[in-house]
Amino acid sequence: MSGPALRPARLSPADILRTGASGLRTRRTRVVLSALGIAIGIATMVAVVGLSTSSRADLLARLDRLGTNLLTAEAGRNALGQDVKLPKSAVAMVERIGPVQHATATGAVDARVRRSDAVPEELASGVTVQAARPDLLDALNARVDQGSWLNPASERLPTVVLGSVAAERLGLTAPGAKILLNDRWYVVTGILAPIELVPTLDRTALVGYPSAERYLGFDGHPTTVFERSTDASVEAVQGVLARTVSPGDEGSVKVSRPSDALAAKAATDKGLTTLMLGLGAVALLVGGVGVANTMVISVLERRSEIGLRRALGATRGSIRIQFLTESLLLSALGGTAGAALGAIATFAFARTQGWIAVVPPWSLAGGLGATLVIGVVAGLYPAVRASRLHPTVALSAS
């Protein structure tokens, strides 16, 4: 009855792309504007993820540099509310704990700090005095900003090294000046850089043990013991540290791990990150609606093109895939631009913060994936509508 079986030819993937792109090429302004919505959404999300990852990576790098194996044991008060003193032998006892590699201590010195004798004694300078051992700096991974640190010679002399905040409070920008500790003149030999692990030491004036004992009436009892052990044994050491530094009075000793405070910071900006991600998602959604709108208008405007293609032999399926491809290309365009923008923003901001920029590949992949989903969702309805247009109706619409 009929000729050979009729089977519509399948378009090659390249032809599908070409026909999908053909509708975009002639409407550039509209393409740019509707891709922009998607781009903004994706850029926001990529940048938010990139920045929070970069800042966390920076924090981890800092922790890595400073070490997470430092523990401090601080003398507190006993059940009766009296100040507890750590025994003089505390450091030696801590050093006896197996995995401990290094232990040192500071002791609170009851001394007033004044810039000069013109300053009345009652006026608090906000700077406290601590006796320190020369090995303190190494234990804390801290460094001197200007001048020099205590050494076995200077720790016996009336010389003092100031924390960064202490120097600021005393109005000193360089070593060399003399300050009053109680009524004794001390020469400032050094100013420390901020101590990231133990910021409380930034507000102190550090003197040697022998000097403190000799000139300031220091009793030689440490108030804080600093200790570094192997990474693997930090928790084990933490368990026995209080008992070791103050046998019988361990309840009044506060043991802490300074790096925990830094690590906690990483978690604190999580809320903001989530909020920004939400904003990005809203922008993306709006962008998707923009693409859908553009596609619906495109189908309405191009009825005669659709009719012509049907006359040339396009099946409903080819029309559907053409408009779906167009929608996908449109949002992929926005998605790619957005991912690039987000990455650039991350790099630029990280640079100003001195961080190493980290743009996780999953955020780029996720952004582009979301783009494709949006492209399909936004394009499906217009594409189906286009494919359902009756060829004769479409052709007479010119």
Partner 1 sequence: MTPAPTDRAMTPAPTDPAMPPAVIELRGATKSYPGGVHALRGVDLRVAQGELVAIVGPSGSGKSTLLNLLGTLDRATSGEVRVAGYDVNRLSDAQLSALRARHIGFVFQHFHLAPGRSAQDNVADGLLYGGAGLRERRARARTALEEVGLGHRIDHLAHQLSGGEKQRVAIARALVGDPDLLLADEPTGALDTASGALVMNLIRQLHAAGTTVCVITHDNDIADSLPRRIRFRDGEIVDDSGPPGPSGSPAEHTDSPAEHTEEVPR
Give the interface with partner 1 as residue ranges (CB under 8 A): 1-3, 6-12, 14-15, 18-19, 22, 25-26, 304-305, 307-318, 390-392, 395, 398
Return the percent helix, strand and coil in the chain, to nearest 5: 55, 15, 30
> What number of CA atoms fall less than 13 Å from residue 364's CA on the CB side?
13
The nearer residue to partner 1, 264 or 312, going by C-beta atoms, is 312
Q: For the chain, how many residues are written?
A: 398
Residues forming a β-bridge with 162: 191, 205
Q: Least Å distance between CB 338 and partner 1?
A: 27
Smallest distance, partner 1 to C-beta of residue 380, A: 20
Closest to partner 1 by CB, 352 vs 398, is 398
In the complex, what is the shortest distance from the CB of residue 16 to partner 1, in angstroms, rounded to a whole number? 11
Site of tokens 């043990």: 209
Cα 175 to Cα 125, 163, 329, distances in angstroms: 18, 12, 65
Helices (H), 246-315: 259-268, 270-301, 303-311
Closer residue to partner 1, CB minimum distance, 297 or 377: 297
- Quick one: 18 or 88, whose CB is closer to partner 1? 18
Among residues 230 and 304, whose Cβ is nearest to partner 1?
A: 304
C-alpha closest to that of 205 among 237, 180, 231, 234: 180
Q: Please, how many CA atoms are within 13 Å of residue 361, restricted to the half-sphere of its CB?
A: 0
> From the CB of 387, what's the least distance to partner 1, in Å?
10
CB of 294 to partner 1, least distance (A): 17
Instruction: State the DSSP string of 65-94.
Output: HH-S-EEEEEE-B-TTSPBPPPPTTHHHHH
β-pairing verdict for 159-162 and 184-192? parallel
Q: Based on CB atoms, which residue is closest to partner 1, 15 or 138?
A: 15
Q: What CA–CA distance (Å, rounded) separates 368 from 41?
A: 11
The nearer residue to partner 1, 88 or 390, going by C-beta atoms, is 390
CB of 8 to partner 1, least distance (A): 4
Q: Could you tell me the smallest distance in angstroms from the CB atom of residue 304 to partner 1?
A: 6
36 vs 330: CA distance, rounded Å: 10
What CA dihedral angle connects 227, 228, 231 and 237, to 10 degrees?
-30
Residues 230, 236, 241, 244: is their CA dihedral positive or negative?
A: negative
When the beta carbons of 217 and 317 are compared against partner 1, the nearer one is 317
Nearer to partner 1, 25 or 65 (CB): 25
Question: Which structure tokens are listed for 383?
Answer: 């594409």
Q: Could you tell me the smallest distance in angstroms from the CB atom of residue 33 to partner 1?
A: 18
CA 66 to chain centre: 16
CB of 375 to partner 1, least distance (A): 23
Nearer to partner 1, 2 or 352 (CB): 2
* Smallest gap from residue 301 Cβ to partner 1 (A): 12
CA distances from 115 to 110, 147, 168, 352, 377 (A): 17, 18, 11, 37, 71
**Rounded to whole angstroms, how far apart are CA atoms 330 and 24?**
8
